[in-house]
Chain A
Amino acid sequence: MNAPTLTDAGMAGRVALVTGGSRGIGRAIVETLAAVGMTVAFTYRENAAAAAEVIAACERGEGRGKRGEGRGDTSLSPHTPHLKPHIFAEALDVRDSAACGAFVEKVVERTESIDLLVNNAGVIRDNTLGLLEDEDVRVVMETNVTGTFNMTRAVAPYMISARQGKIINVTSVSGEKGGRGQTNYAASKGALNAFTRSLAVELAPRGITVNAVAPGVIDTELSRAVREQAGDQALSRILLRRYGRPEEVAHAVWFLASRFADYITGEILHVDGGFKME
């Protein structure tokens, strides 16, 4: 048996598409994948300034490690201002199926393939059941669940045809463990866990792995309200007694996207510091 080479994760030069990449966990994922030499196309909902900042940070090699040399202009279109070698972004609502299809086509025109899809885009509209508006339920389910369907259905044919690929869904600890005021969000993330397992079955014959990373309470803007509301009570439920950092979730995504996880599919990897059931 050959000695294992643990420095090459087999990701440099490959192409990743990340949804919701301008902030929080998504940003950490984009920066981590760019740091290991992947070409990264990411979407963001509306914050162009944040997206531009992510691209700039990746170009400077900040935060998540040094990046390799650029390979020229990988612009999606003359109308997209956030264009740098190796990394590009476009404003997109994942609820729009046609827009997802068009974005994937543009990415492939530039890169010729998509090796990794990270479905990260998601929203929170927390409230107890009696106070949830119809819109709170609709937006969360359509963004978190339908949006994941939309982007996956746009990317999957390329992977099926190539007989390879990895799909990673960012779900949540709330998909499996109860949390007050999170029925809509929890239902959406539980649905994504089920989606992950079923899609793994469907795509395994084509050599495509499908896994999920389920973050616990991570120190991001998205979770600020949850953390502030729960206070010390939330910390007391976490065995490691601290909130997670976005890059700690990104490292789990990196692992599942690497060649070291080639034999893992249909799994939900919890990154939650040991979140306890209540």
Chain B
Amino acid sequence: MNEINNIKINNDEIQSVFPRVAETIADAIGCEVEKVKLNASLIDNLGAESIDFVDIIFRLQRLFKVKIPRGKIVEEARGSLSETEFEKAGVVSDAGVSRLRDYLSEVPPDRFKSPLNVADIPRLFTVETFCKLVIRQQRATPTADVSTPA
């Protein structure tokens, strides 16, 4: 894991991006913004489908002027683990689950099912996951829009 991602993200930072992230997610999924709580699971609580993730990431990139490469969340969660150390035959290893728990600290521990399939990782993502993703990419992108609307 690189230095940027080891720096702790505090609650103020999350709150500063949350309204715009929530609005983006609501627009992409087509739900009321009031339903987009910080701890809501995108798939289980908001009914997002995989195609919605493409839309959400696309909109967040344009809104915050950051680059979010494909597979960024899993890649960062995996950190220094090799792909084979992280997962075998589509199932996340114990070491991989440990990294995910650490990286996705906003996700309640009981939501990490065992065994955890790689394909089910997006099921863990909450609205806060995307707030943190934006903040990390803002730190990595000098030209990112870090303004806080009044």
Contacts and interface: CB of A to CB of B under 8 A. Distances in A.
Interface of A: 156-158, 160-161, 202-203, 205-206
Tell me the interface secondary structure of chain A in the complex: helix
The DSSP consensus for interface residues of chain B is helix
Nearest to B57: A157
A152 to B, nearest CB: 12
A205 B55 contact: no
Interface in B54-69: 54-55, 57-59
A127 B79 CA distance: 46
Contacts of B55: 157, 160-161, 206
Given A160-B54, A205-B49, 7 more contacts: A158-B58, A160-B51, A160-B55, A160-B58, A202-B51, A203-B51, A206-B51
Contacts of A160: 51, 54-55, 58
Nearest to B59: A161
A206 B28 CA distance: 11
B59 to A, nearest CB: 6
A149 to B, nearest CB: 12
Interface string B76-117: 000000000000000000000000000000000000000000
Which of A158, A161, A206 has the most B CB atoms < 10 Å from its CB?
A161
Contacts of A206: 51, 55
Nearest to B56: A161
Contacts of B57: 157
20 contacts: A156-B54, A157-B54, A157-B55, A157-B57, A157-B58, A158-B58, A160-B51, A160-B54, A160-B55, A160-B58, A161-B28, A161-B55, A161-B58, A161-B59, A202-B51, A203-B51, A205-B49, A205-B51, A206-B51, A206-B55
A163 to B, nearest CB: 9
Contacts of B49: 205
Nearest to A206: B51
A169 to B, nearest CB: 19
